[in-house]
Amino acid sequence: MVAHGRGEGPIVAPMSRTRRFIPASEWEDERQTLGLEGERLALAFLTACGWAIEAHRFRLGRHDVDLVIRRGHLVAFVEVKTRRSSAFGSPLEAVNHRKQRDIAKAASLWMLRHGRAGDIYRFDLVGVQMRRGQEPLIEHVEDAWRPPSSVSS
């Protein structure tokens, strides 16, 4: 990383040794791999339903939107929740108000950078249940919540 100081020329700072890119194929945390598999299934499901994928894992700092999808002027910011069982509730019950607020923050940045005149925005949820010995169950909840009016149009 190179930064410029006060007329003294560039200041070189070493990159952090604690953070490095790890390919998904090398992930060891089962929750991360399960989440990625659920996102892949949601991508396939949504494209089969006629949606175009605008972004996958769009980030704003530590906040992210799992999927940004488009159909004409309708843009949906999608949170995908994947579970192996319903022991701790439905995947759709896992998105609380704080998570909604964090998703809305990242969505606001996406709107500023990539939004188009006339776009209409909403927030969707996709729940994926991985069932042992059965096909995954995918549930798409359109317009699942509304952020404060200052975030969406």
Q: Is 116 inside any structural domain? A: yes
Domain membership of residue 47 (yes or no) is yes
Residue 13 included in any domain:
no
In-domain check, residue 91:
yes
24: in domain:
no
Highest mean pLDDT, choosing among 33-42, 48-57, 142-151:
48-57
Sign of torsion, CA 137 89 127 56?
Answer: negative
pTM beyond 0.95 = no
**Count of domains observed in the chain:** 1
Tracing tokens 């990625």 back to the chain, one arrives at: 36
- 122 falls within a domain: yes
User: Does some domain include residue 21?
Assistant: no
Residue bearing the bigger pLDDT, 35 or 126: 126
For residue 9, is it within any domain? no
pLDDT band with cut points at 50, 70 and 90 for residue 12? low
Query: Structural domain of residue 105, as residue ranges?
Result: 29-145
Q: Residue 99 maps to which CATH number?
A: 3.40.1350.10
| DSSP 8-class letter at 62 | T
Q: What is the pLDDT of residue 3?
A: 45
Alpha carbon of 104 to those of 72, 87, 145: distances in Å?
A: 21, 28, 10
